């Protein structure tokens, strides 16, 4: 038999095999495997998986398998029946690696997914699966030495696939954390994970909407298989941009599924905090520009530490460390801060409200308006936000070299703020001002039936002329000021506290003088 004839026969046999394989593949009803798929998922997670639509195969050099109407069961205690529902899943598989029992998924597409992430107050999370199921899955993965890591195991189970790219489009993510009191709904326009396999780092890009505001970014998180490994640190490097703010995260997370610990560097910067109001769902002060950095580590359910905190707002700076204990009945915060300069003008911006025309043709701004319930009085009767003092305990110390308030320099400040069960105390409160000193303490007890205010402030050897000049009030007066203030009152609003104040104010001006320019002005107005 000639070589050419042999080659023709071999060629015909190859074609016949290919054609026969195609016929078999095309004629196979893959819906019969729905039960097997659901069984394997149940073994691995302890939860049910259902497929309402058809399983379809499209044949090519990179065959694609599509599934529609997929639902994955939530934890028994969950607020909704499904943790995950997907309108369509499409997976494209490389053909040649299949010959060596290797499943390489070129890309996976998820469309119309709804994902529910929940964490209860006791630490239970719906993304942490049943322990018994995990053990069962581990035992099944402990294959004999003769089986290949990429091939079939001794019990005939399928190999773990290598997924190179995951694309999620038009999805909804609902995040609920009872312990943090947070419930958020995020619309995911696009999320792309691109890597070389489950053990390789991935490139991440995303585009989403939170509270109607666009949020986008990306980074390089760790390998996908590290998400479920409780014994390894999972590296995270991520950048997020939203409403003019830029947030950077960089550091490892221990057991990402259980979030048992992390040590992450955080950097936040932006032109104005006010731009974040819509994103936060609440008004945010117009503080600008700002830059915040810190390293955060610890267990989010037990204790956290924020170290090397650096805050830069305009010309102002604040640095320090904070410890947060979350294991008690109430969270407790212990922090120490230092500052070279705090300019209150960087934090308190003047109103920029546009003038409004009234019915009589005059103009005014929103800042000129008096609240309806104030009855034209100067002090508001709005309730003080005293409930904010009750959920946590805190002790915060501050040492600042210089604070600027309306042109007045307050220097060498040493103070401590203590909050316990709604009882707020500021003591000591020491500072230097206008060549003199301040020494005092303030207490506001919000836990009392009627909130109570007590304060005592002593001012010694204050240069009154310098103080008034720095405050841009007048430069016509001079003298030394010694003063003592002892006040107490009760009330749940500024007006109520002011109306009920009781105590004494003493002030002594030594060697006071009025500049002759003031007398000249008076004589000019009232000639003799």
**Residue from 385, 389, 458, 404 nearest 428 by CA:** 458
Q: What is the pLDDT of residue 327?
A: 84
Determine, yes or no, domain membership for 222: no
pLDDT tens digits along 23-71 = 444 445 556 767 888 888 888 888 999 988 888 877 777 778 888 898 9
Q: Are 379 and 357 in contact, with CB atoms under 8 Å apart?
A: no
Which distant-in-sequence residues (6+ apart) come within 8 Å of 166 by Cβ? 107, 108, 110, 191, 192, 193
pLDDT attached to residue 20 = 42
Q: Which stretches of 247-378 are DSSP H helices?
A: 277-280
Q: Could you tell me the CA-to-CA distances from 443 to 37, 430, 459 in Å, in that order?
A: 65, 15, 18
Does the model's pTM come out above 0.85? no
Instruction: Give the mean pLDDT per block of 10 residues along the chain (528 residues).
Output: 46 44 48 77 87 80 82 91 91 75 80 90 81 48 42 48 84 86 87 80 90 90 74 87 92 74 90 82 81 90 91 95 90 96 83 46 47 58 83 95 93 96 94 94 89 90 89 81 90 84 86 65 53
468 DSSP 8-state letter? H
**Does some domain include residue 113?**
yes
Distance separating alpha carbons of residues 359 and 368, to the nearest angstrom: 16
Q: What is the CB neighbour count within 10 angstroms for residue 273?
A: 21
Judge whether 237 lies within some domain. no
Q: Taking the CA atoms of the chain, what radius of gyration do you get in angstroms?
A: 34
User: What pLDDT does 457 receive?
Assistant: 92
Note the pLDDT of residue 159.
57
| pLDDT (0 to 100) of residue 170 | 93
Task: Determine the structural domain holding residue 95 and report its residue range.
Answer: 29-137+159-197
DSSP code, position 341: -
Predicted pLDDT at 197: 67
**Count of CB atoms situated within 10 Å of the CB of 83:** 20
- Predicted pLDDT at 29: 59
Geometric angle at alpha carbon 421, from 419 and 427, rounded to 5°: 25
Amino acid 371: pLDDT: 47
Looking only at the bridges linking them, the beta strands covering 114-119 and 82-93 are antiparallel
**80 domain residue, yes or no:** yes
Per-residue b/e over 102-137, b at no fewer than 16 CB within 10 Å?
A: bbbbebbbbeebbbbbbbbeeeeebbbbeeebbeee
Per-residue model confidence as pLDDT tens digits over 283-337: 888 887 999 999 999 887 789 999 999 999 999 999 999 999 988 888 999 999 9
Distance of CA 348 to the CA centre of its chain: 24
Q: Is residue 69 part of a domain?
A: yes
Cα separation of 483 and 303, whole Å?
44
Residue 274 lies in a domain: no
| Residue-level pLDDT at 422 | 92
Measure the CA angle with vertex 106, ends 101 and 107; round to 5°. 130
Q: Which helix (H) or strand (E) holds 36?
A: helix 34-45
Instruction: Return the H-helix or E-strand segment holding 516.
Output: helix 516-525
**CA-based torsion, 23, 25, 26, 31: positive or negative:** positive
Give the integer Cα–Cα distance in Å for 40 and 33: 11
Distance from CA of residue 479 to its chain's centroid? 51
Q: CA 301, 307, 310, 311: dihedral to nearest 10 degrees?
A: 30
- Tell me, what's the pLDDT at 199? 73
Closest alpha carbon to 89 in 47, 61, 54, 43 = 54
Structural domain contains residue 454 = no
Q: Per the domain annotation, does 512 fall within a domain?
A: no
Domains identified in the chain, total number: 1
Torsion 357-359-361-362 (CA) sign = negative
């Amino acid at each position: 038999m000639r070589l050419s004839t042999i080659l023709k026969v071999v060629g015909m046999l190859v074609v016949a095999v290919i054609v026969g394989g195609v016929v078999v593949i095309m004629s196979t009803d893959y819906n019969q495997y729905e039960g097997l798929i659901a069984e394997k998922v149940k073994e691995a997670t302890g939860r049910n998986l259902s497929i309402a639509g058809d399983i379809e195969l499209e044949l090519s050099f990179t065959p694609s398998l599509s599934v529609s109407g997929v639902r994955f069961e939530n934890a028994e205690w969950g607020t909704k029946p499904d943790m995950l529902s997907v309108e369509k899943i499409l997976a494209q598989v490389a053909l040649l690696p299949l010959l060596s029992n290797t499943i390489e998924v070129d890309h996976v597409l998820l469309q119309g997914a709804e994902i529910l992430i929940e964490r209860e107050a006791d630490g239970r999370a719906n993304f942490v699966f049943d322990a018994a199921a995990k053990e069962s899955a581990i035992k099944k993965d402990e294959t004999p030495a003769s089986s290949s890591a990429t091939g079939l195991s001794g019990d005939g189970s399928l190999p773990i696939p290598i997924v190179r790219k995951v694309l999620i489009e038009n999805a909804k993510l609902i995040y609920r954390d009872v312990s943090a009191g947070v419930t958020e709904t995020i619309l995911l326009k696009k999320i792309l994970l691109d890597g070389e396999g489950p053990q390789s780092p991935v490139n991440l890009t995303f585009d989403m909407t939170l509270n109607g505001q666009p949020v986008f970014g990306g980074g390089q998180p760790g390998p996908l298989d590290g998400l479920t490994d409780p014994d390894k640190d999972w590296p995270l490097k991520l950048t997020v941009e939203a409403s003019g703010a830029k947030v950077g995260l960089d550091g490892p997370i221990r057991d990402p599924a259980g979030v048992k610990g992390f040590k992450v560097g955080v950097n936040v910067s932006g032109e104005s905090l006010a731009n974040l109001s819509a994103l936060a769902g609440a008004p945010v002060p117009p503080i600008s520009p700002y830059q915040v950095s810190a390293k955060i580590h610890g267990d989010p359910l037990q204790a956290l530490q924020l170290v090397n905190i650096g805050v830069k707002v305009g010309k102002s700076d604040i640095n320090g460390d904070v410890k947060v204990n979350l294991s008690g009945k109430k969270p407790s915060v212990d922090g120490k801060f230092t500052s070279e300069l705090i300019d209150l003008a960087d934090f308190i911006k003047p109103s920029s409200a546009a003038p409004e025309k009234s019915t009589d043709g005059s103009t005014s701004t929103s800042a000129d308006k008096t609240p309806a319930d104030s009855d034209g009085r100067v002090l508001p009767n709005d309730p003080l936000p005293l409930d904010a003092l009750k959920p946590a305990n805190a002790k915060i110390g501050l040492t600042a070299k210089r604070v600027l308030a309306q042109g007045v320099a307050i220097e060498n400040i040493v103070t401590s703020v203590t909050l316990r069960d709604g009882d707020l105390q500021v003591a000591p409160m020491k500072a230097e001002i206008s060549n003199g000193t301040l020494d005092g303490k303030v207490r506001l007890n919000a836990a009392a039936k009627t909130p109570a205010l007590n304060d005592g402030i002593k001012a010694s050897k204050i240069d009154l002329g310098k103080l008034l000049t720095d405050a841009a009030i007048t430069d016509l007066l001079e003298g030394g000021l010694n003063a003592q203030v002892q006040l107490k009152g009760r009330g749940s609003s500024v007006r109520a506290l002011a109306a009920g104040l009781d105590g004494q104010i003493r002030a002594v001006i030594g060697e006071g003088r009025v500049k002759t320019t003031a007398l000249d002005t008076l004589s000019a107005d009232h000639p003799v």
